Structure 1
Amino acid sequence: MQGVLSSVAPSTLKSYSAAVDRFVAFTWGAGGGALCPPSQDEVLRYLAHLRALGRAPCTMRRDLAAVPFFCKTLGFPDPCCGFIPRRAIEGWARLAPPLPDKRRPISLPILRRILRVLPDLCWSSFEAQLFRAAFSLAFFGALRVSELVAGSQADTSGRALSFTDVSWSPRQVVITIRRSKTDQRGKGAAICLRAARQGAACPVRAVKAYLGIRPQQQGPFFIHRDLSPLTRYQFSSLLRACLETAGLPSSQFGTHSFRIGAATAAAGLGLPDKAIMAIGRWRSRAFRSYNRPHGLSGH
C-alpha cells in the first residue's frame, strides 16, 4: 500500500486524504457505510451535496478522483467509474462556466519597476539581493512559485529550488527543475538563462550578486541570512508591497503573474508556439490562455 500512496505527489495525497475525509463524514452523516465500500448512489448524493454548497466543478473532479484512488488502494471496486457521475460534473460545469482568470502579467517594464523599489522595502541589502534574484528567476525562467521557494518554514517536500540545482558561468545561469506540476515523475528539466544586455533586469547578474553574499549552505537555494528558507508567503507579501509602492494595483497580480508575463512577452516577440511551450515547459497549447497583452495596459 505504501508504494501505491507514494505514486502521487505528497500535495496530491494530502488533497485526496482531505477529500475522502469529507466524503466519509458525509456518508456517515447520511447513514451510509463510509468506505465499506461506497456505492455509486452515495457518490452521486455527495456530488449533489457539493453542488448545493456551491462548490466549483474542479473541486468535484478532485473529490471524484480521490474516492476511487483510496477505494482501489483498499481493494474496493471503483464507485465512480459509471457514466452518470462524470457526466453530471461536466453538465454542471457547462451550466456555470468558471470565471476567467484575470490576473495581469508582470511584464519586463513592470519587473524593472518592482526591482527599482525593492531596496526601499527590504530591511537589509542581503534581503534586497535575495528577492531581486528570486523575482528575476521567476520572470525569466517562467517559474511557478512552488518550483522556486519553500511552501513554508516547515516544508520538507524538497520541491523548492535547491543550491545544487543551480550552476553558473560568466554569461549564463542554468537551473534544474527536478519536479513540477506537469512532471510528477521527476524527469526534470534544465532552464538556461543568458545574461541580458540591460543589467537592471538581468537574471544572471542578479543570481551572481546573490551568490556572492549567500551563506555557504546546502539545501534550498533561496535562504535568508539566518539560513531559514524564503517561503511562498514572504515572496508573495513582498511582491504585493513592491507593486503598491510602484503605483500598481496588487490585487490584479499574483505570484503566477511572472509566469503569465513570460508567456505574454514571448508571444509578443513573435516566438512560435513550440518555443513558448519549451520556455514554460507546457505540454499543450494551454499556454495560450496566459498570453494577455491586454493586461499590460498601464505598465
Structure 2
Amino acid sequence: MVQDATAFGVPLAVDKTEGPVTELSFLGLTLDTVAMECKLPENKLEDLKGAVKRECQLKNLQLRELQSLLVGSFSEIGANGGSRRAPVAEGIVADASQAAEELINASMVAGTWGAYAAAWKQWEEWLVRLGGAEEDWDMMLLLFIGHCRELGWSVSKLNMCMAGLAFGFKRRGMRDLTKVFLVKLAFRGWRRGNSIQDDRRPVSFGLLVDLRGVLESVCSSNWERRLFRAAFSLAFFGALRLGELVSTAKPGGVLLEDVDLYEYRVEFRLRRSKTVRKGKGLMIRLFAIAGCAVCPVLCLREYLSFRGRGFGPLLIHENSMFLSRFQFLSVFRKGLKKLGMEVEGFSSHSFQIGEATEATIRGLGEDLIKKIGHWESRRFHSYMRLGL
C-alpha cells in the first residue's frame, strides 16, 4: 500500500499505518467494519462515567461543562448513520423530559387539563363519525359547532370546548382551526344570539352596613356576630369568590397563617384562586377606612380578638369548626330576610359584584378595578349594576 501511494506521489508515514484489520482506532474512536460500529474504547467510556458521577455531586454546573458531558455521552454510531445515546445520556434526557413535563402540567389547574382533554376526545370522535380527511377539517369544525348548537350547549360550554381544541391543535404543532375565518364568524354568531343577561343582584356598600346591623339578631353569640362581620367585609372589600374565602367540603379558604394584620391594613395570601395558577398564590391588601363600621381591618381585628392566633382556616366557629360555604350563604340569606328583602337573585357572587359596581361608581379606573377583583380580562363589566 505504501509503495502504491508513493507511485501516485502521496507520501505516507509508515509508523502511522496499520492493517489490513477489521477494527482500528481513529481520533479516539474504535471503528469496527464487521459490526459496523463506531464506539468509545472501554477505558474512555469508564472515564466518562466517572466524570458524570463527579459532576452529579456538584451543586452547580456551567453550561459548557454540561455540553461537554452530553457530547461525550453520544458514544456509539450505528451502521445506518443514526446515533444511539449511552445510558448516561439516556438518564439525563429522561430527567430533563420529566422536569419539562412537570412544568407543562403546572401551567394549568387539573380541572382545565381535564376539560381540554375531554374537548379533544369529542373532536376525535366527531372526525371518526364523519370520516373527514385532514384537508376537510375546516368544514368538519363548522359542522361540529352546528352539532353542538343542536344539542343545546351553552355559550360557556362551547367556549371551554373551543379553548380545548385550540390548545390541542397548538400542542400537536397543527394549524389552529378555531382561528379560521368562517369558524370565528359562526362562534361569534352563536355568542350574539345566546347572550344571557346576568341578573344576579349585588351587595352594595349600604346593604353591607345594614347586614352588619341585623347580625345582632341573626347570630346567637358575640363570636358568631364578629365571625360573620369579618366574613362579609372581607368578601366585599376583597372582591373575593366564596371558594377563595371560606372552606368547602374540607378545611381551606384563607388560612390564618397567611394573614398579617397591621394598624392600618391587612394582608393575606390566596393559595388557590380561579384566576391564579396553582402554586403561585395571590397577595390581597385591604386598607383601613376611618369611621366605617364595616371596615375590613376593624372587623377582622374584632374577630381575631376572639379567634386568637394559630393555624388552619381563618374563619372558624367558637367550637373550632370551619365556616363553610353553606353556612355563609345561610346567614347571608337570613340577614336579607331580616331586612325585608327578597332572597332571590342574591348569590355567592353578590359581594364580588357589589365591589365591582361600587368601584365603578366611585370612578376607579379599569386597571385598578381588575386588580381589586384579580380579574385577568374585562369580564368584570358583566358584574356592574349601575342602574340599581
Fold agreement, TM-score > 0.5: yes
> 1:41 deviation in Å?
6.0
Once residues 159 and 208 of structure 2 are traced to their aligned partners in structure 1, the CA distance between those partners, rounded to angstroms, is 36
Alignment of 1:273-292 (within 5 A): 273-283=366-376, 286-292=379-385
* Larger of the two Rg values belongs to structure: 2
Judge conservation of contact 2:286–2:297 (CA < 8 Å) in 1: no
Against the structure 1 CA distance between its residues 154 and 86, is the aligned structure 2 distance closer, same or farther, given a 3 Å change threshold?
Answer: farther
Partner of 1:63: 161
> 1:282 deviation in Å?
4.0
Judge conservation of contact 1:222–1:230 (CA < 8 Å) in 2: yes
Partner of 2:255: 162
Partner of 2:325: 232
Once residues 125 and 290 of structure 2 are traced to their aligned partners in structure 1, the CA distance between those partners, rounded to angstroms, is 56
| Per-residue CA distance 1:223-282 (angstroms, 9 max, x = gap) | 334444333333223322321222122212222221222222233334444443443344
Instruction: Name which of 289, 305, 311 aligns with 1:218.
Output: 311
The answer to whether 1:153 aligns with 2:249 is: yes
Partner of 2:110: 10
Alignment of 1:169-180 (within 5 A): 169-178=262-271, 180=273
1:221 is aligned with what amino acid?
L
Judge conservation of contact 1:105–1:292 (CA < 8 Å) in 2: yes
Partner of 1:140: 237
Against the structure 1 CA distance between its residues 114 and 44, is the aligned structure 2 distance closer, same or farther, given a 3 Å change threshold?
Answer: same
Specify the SS of the correspondent of 1:209.
helix
Partner of 2:66: none
Instruction: Name which of 189, 202, 217 aligns with 1:91.
Output: 189
Judge conservation of contact 1:149–1:231 (CA < 8 Å) in 2: yes
Judge conservation of contact 2:237–2:286 (CA < 8 Å) in 1: no
The answer to whether 1:49 aligns with 2:113 is: no
Once residues 145 and 224 of structure 1 are traced to their aligned partners in structure 2, the CA distance between those partners, rounded to angstroms, is 17
Partner of 2:291: 197
Partner of 1:111: 208
Q: Could you tell me the percent identity over the aligned residues?
A: 34
Judge conservation of contact 1:144–1:256 (CA < 8 Å) in 2: yes
Count of residue pairs brought into register by the alignment? 282
Against the structure 1 CA distance between its residues 109 and 211, is the aligned structure 2 distance closer, same or farther, given a 3 Å change threshold?
Answer: same
1:6 is aligned with what amino acid?
A
Once residues 309 and 222 of structure 2 are traced to their aligned partners in structure 1, the CA distance between those partners, rounded to angstroms, is 18
Against the structure 1 CA distance between its residues 284 and 25, is the aligned structure 2 distance closer, same or farther, given a 3 Å change threshold?
Answer: closer
Judge conservation of contact 1:40–1:79 (CA < 8 Å) in 2: no
Judge conservation of contact 2:357–2:386 (CA < 8 Å) in 1: yes
Against the structure 1 CA distance between its residues 193 and 68, is the aligned structure 2 distance closer, same or farther, given a 3 Å change threshold?
Answer: same
Against the structure 1 CA distance between its residues 14 and 154, is the aligned structure 2 distance closer, same or farther, given a 3 Å change threshold?
Answer: farther
TM-score, length of structure 1 as denominator length: 0.77
> 1:189 deviation in Å?
3.2
Structure 1 unmatched runs, 5+? 34-38
TM-score, length of structure 2 as denominator length: 0.61
Judge conservation of contact 1:244–1:250 (CA < 8 Å) in 2: yes
> 1:58 deviation in Å?
2.2
Judge conservation of contact 1:57–1:89 (CA < 8 Å) in 2: no
Specify the SS of the correspondent of 2:306.
coil
RMSD: 3.4
| Per-residue CA distance 1:107-166 (angstroms, 9 max, x = gap) | 12211222222243335443332221110111122222232123x2237xx6x2221221
Specify the SS of the correspondent of 1:130.
helix
> 1:167 deviation in Å?
0.9
Once residues 284 and 165 of structure 1 are traced to their aligned partners in structure 2, the CA distance between those partners, rounded to angstroms, is 27
Judge conservation of contact 1:71–1:78 (CA < 8 Å) in 2: yes
Partner of 2:335: 242
Against the structure 1 CA distance between its residues 80 and 143, is the aligned structure 2 distance closer, same or farther, given a 3 Å change threshold?
Answer: same
> 1:204 deviation in Å?
1.7
> 1:179 deviation in Å?
5.1
